[in-house]
């Protein structure tokens, strides 16, 4: 109770809201108690005055409301429509209010960056109404709708140096778990609707994993749950003498010092942004007025379509259409539908009507073509029964020069698409059959002799191990025939099919040595050494530092064979496709040497057979 009272005293504006709710409760109770003698009584009373932000230390006392039985007149505030979405969000940032006083440094940080906040508010216009609506549907704190400010600055194509992409900055491993597809045509991490659903699903999951603590959920979103658990263990170790510390779950502020620097700032930044949005006028921050109404409408198309044609038909600028549909990597949707397309809310209805009466927009289909050695633009055009000019125009090419390994988008007339695709499919099947055969041979070779077993430790995850072993999370899951969505268990054994993990070496760094020097010496890459030791490849190394380095498994040159009764050099050599002389020389024996039962000799492994 004292905690709640202190919160209200430190947040006068919130206090006025609580008073309104308390008044409403009191009136309900009073009307029940007085129902037999004061029915149908009209109630009117002024509301408490709005109080200024505690940031300015100029709060006025809250005006008391007269609720005496003989004058029960109060005008209760109902839901009011706000034309501007920032106004709707104000007074709804409960987390920022609850933790006010713990993020002052970041209030100053953003107060010095008012121009940045203005630009971010402009970029938020197409997305904020939708995101806030989804947050409210799930009864999540309003602060979550502002998380893209901290994550990406509301840039749907933002990409970090850790390969995180989109408004919500999903890394590949987490994107796989939440079914955000990625291919040449499309990246679900940049899809406004799909990435928002995935991000809110993930946040709700992290909220439950952290015993319903939103700040810890946010920290986990940034650093991963394993990092948070590790920081909590460090806190408990530091305070091990306190009673009940083993069962205690430290909160964000208590473990803040044990977290990575980025995560230490991540949560306070969001709280600071939320507070500034709530009191934008007091901070003199000029936020773009965003209409409190849907900015876009989603339509579904069953066939492939050119985004440029959609822009022309709807009289929408290509920039706006691209901003609403950043998930599409190419100027056309993928070949196989259905596809979801976002259009400005005032354009969608007319476009739907147009499609009902005119299907010309679907008359051209698009196919991707990976350039191979020997290809020329004219050969490619002939293959797809189109023209070099159209290929150049679609791909923004200034001349006919092409490079092997690059990919082109090819326009194909719809009436010829069936025949062209049939020919291509036949050619691709032939190529894929050959590639599959080679891949199977390589896989079998690895399965037999180059298998490394990893025993899962606390904090391990698919994406963490994938980074460590320089593979993809999907490949790791496929190797072990398990779902990427299934959590790993401590002690679980995972197979890593690679010859790079034969011997684990602890190398103590000497003066003058660098990652490049070590990589050259051990015949590995600097990236692999950095991954194995969880350091940056650009990190300046200090003498005495210990580094883990894996070296390739050495194939055995020979195996041991225990001599049985009746064995001699000749029959053992014959069974292993060797000459008796070769076997004798390998074991430093004479051809006249008599073998004894139980004696151990070595047989070169490439010649060994079971005898």
Alpha-carbon gap, residue 353 to 234, rounded angstroms: 62
Per the CB < 8 A criterion, the answer to whether 150 and 110 are in contact is no
The string over 267-277, giving b where at least 16 C-beta atoms fall within 10 Å of a residue's C-beta and e elsewhere, is: bbbbbbbbbbb
Instruction: Decide if 258 contacts 234 (C-beta within 8 A).
Output: yes
Phi (first) and psi of residue 93, to 5 degrees: -95, 80
Give the rounded distance of the alpha carbon of 275 from its chain centre. 26
Task: Respond yes or no: is residue 257 known to be catalytic.
Answer: no
- Catalytic pick among 143, 151, 194, 528: 151
Helix (H) or strand (E) holding 112: none
- Could you give the 3-state DSSP secondary structure of residue 561? strand
343: three-class secondary structure by DSSP: strand
CA distances to 141, 251, 391, 582 from 203, in Å: 11, 17, 44, 67
Query: How far is 100 from 317, CA to CA, in rounded Å?
Result: 42
DSSP character at residue 131: H
The number of angstroms, rounded, from the C-alpha of 399 to the middle of its chain's C-alpha atoms is: 38
CA 533 vs CA 193, 452, 527, 536: distances in Å: 37, 18, 10, 9
Is the distance from CB of 100 to CB of 266 less than 8 angstroms? Answer: no
Question: Quick check: helix, strand or coil at residue 455?
Answer: strand
Residue 64 CB-density burial (10 A; 0-12 exposed, 13-18 middle, 19+ buried):
exposed
Q: Is 577 left (phi over 0), alpha (psi -120 to 50) or beta?
A: left
* Residues 531, 536: Cα–Cα separation, whole Å: 8
Q: How far apart are CA 275 and CA 290, in angstroms?
A: 18
Residues ≥6 apart with Cβ < 8 Å to 344: 295, 296, 297, 314, 316, 320, 324
SS (H, E, C) 490-503: CCCEEEEECCCCCE
b/e code 8-25 from CB counts within 10 Å (16+ = b): beebbbbbbbebeeebee
Task: Tell me the two tokens of residue 461.
Answer: 């995850």
Structure tokens at 553: 């498994």
Distance between CA 229 and CA 232 in Å, rounded? 5
| β strands within 425-545, DSSP E | 451-455, 493-497, 503-508
Report d(CA 140, CA 443) in Å as an integer: 47
Exposed (0-12), middle (13-18) or buried (19+): which is 366, by Cβ within 10 Å?
buried
How do beta strands 600-604 and 364-370 pair?
Answer: unpaired
- The Cα 275–Cα 283 span in angstroms is 10
The reply to whether omega before 94 is within 30° of 0 (cis) is no
By annotation, the residues acting in catalysis are: 151
């Amino acid at each position: 109770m004292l905690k709640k009272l202190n919160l209200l005293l430190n947040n006068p504006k919130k206090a006025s809201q609580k008073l309104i709710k308390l008044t409403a409760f009191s009136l309900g109770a009073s009307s029940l108690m007085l129902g037999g003698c004061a029915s149908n009584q009209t109630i009117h009373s002024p509301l408490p005055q709005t109080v200024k932000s505690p940031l300015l230390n100029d709060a006025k006392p809250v005006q008391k409301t007269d609720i005496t039985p003989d004058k029960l007149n109060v005008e209760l505030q109902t839901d009011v429509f706000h034309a501007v979405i920032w106004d709707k969000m104000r007074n709804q940032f409960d987390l920022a209010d609850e933790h006010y006083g713990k993020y002052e440094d970041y209030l100053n940080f953003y107060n010095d960056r008012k121009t940045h906040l203005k630009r971010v508010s402009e970029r938020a216009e197409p997305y904020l109404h939708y995101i806030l609506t989804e947050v409210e549907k799930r009864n999540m704190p309003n602060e979550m709708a502002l998380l893209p400010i901290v994550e990406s600055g509301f840039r749907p194509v933002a990409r970090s140096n850790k390969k995180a992409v989109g408004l919500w900055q999903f890394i590949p491993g987490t994107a796989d778990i939440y079914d955000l597809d990625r291919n040449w045509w499309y990246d679900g991490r940049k899809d406004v609707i799909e990435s928002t659903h995935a991000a809110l699903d993930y946040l709700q999951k992290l909220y439950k994993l952290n015993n319903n603590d939103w700040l810890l959920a946010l920290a986990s979103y940034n650093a991963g749950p394993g990092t948070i658990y590790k920081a909590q263990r460090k806190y408990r170790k530091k305070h091990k003498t306190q009673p009940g510390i083993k069962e205690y779950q430290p909160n964000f502020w208590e473990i803040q010092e044990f977290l990575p620097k980025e995560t230490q700032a991540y949560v306070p930044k969001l709280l600071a942004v939320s507070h500034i949005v709530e009191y934008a006028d007091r901070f003199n921050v000029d936020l773009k007025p965003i209409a409190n109404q849907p900015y876009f409408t989603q339509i579904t198309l069953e066939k492939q379509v050119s985004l440029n044609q959609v822009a022309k038909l709807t009289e929408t600028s290509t920039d706006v259409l691209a901003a609403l549909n950043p998930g599409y990597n190419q100027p056309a949707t993928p070949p196989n539908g259905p596809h979801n397309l976002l259009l400005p809310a005032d354009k969608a209805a007319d476009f739907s009507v147009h499609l009902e009466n005119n299907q010309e927009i679907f008359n051209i289909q698009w196919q991707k073509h990976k350039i191979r050695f020997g290809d020329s633009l004219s050969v490619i055009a002939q293959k797809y029964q189109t023209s070099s000019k159209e290929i150049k125009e679609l791909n923004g090419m200034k001349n006919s020069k092409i490079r092997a390994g690059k990919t082109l988008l090819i326009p194909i007339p719809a009436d010829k698409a069936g025949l062209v695709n049939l020919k291509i499919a036949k050619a691709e099947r032939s190529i894929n059959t050959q590639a599959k055969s080679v891949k199977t041979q390589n896989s079998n070779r690895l399965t037999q002799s180059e298998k490394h077993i990893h025993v899962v430790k606390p904090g391990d995850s698919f994406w963490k191990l994938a980074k460590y072993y320089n593979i993809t999370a999907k490949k790791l899951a496929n190797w072990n025939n398990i779902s990427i969505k299934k959590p790993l268990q401590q002690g679980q054994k995972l197979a890593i099919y690679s010859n790079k993990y034969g011997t684990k070496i602890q190398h103590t760094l000497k003066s003058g040595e660098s990652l490049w020097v070590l990589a050259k010496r051990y015949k590995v890459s600097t990236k692999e050494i950095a991954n194995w030791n969880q350091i940056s490849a650009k990190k300046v190394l200090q003498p005495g530092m210990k580094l883990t380095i894996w070296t390739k498994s050495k194939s055995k040159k020979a195996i041991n064979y225990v001599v049985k009764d009746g064995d001699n050099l000749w029959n053992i050599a014959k069974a292993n496709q060797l000459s008796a002389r070769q076997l004798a020389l390998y074991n430093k024996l004479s051809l006249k040497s008599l073998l004894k039962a139980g004696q151990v000799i070595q047989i070169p492994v490439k010649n060994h057979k079971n005898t």
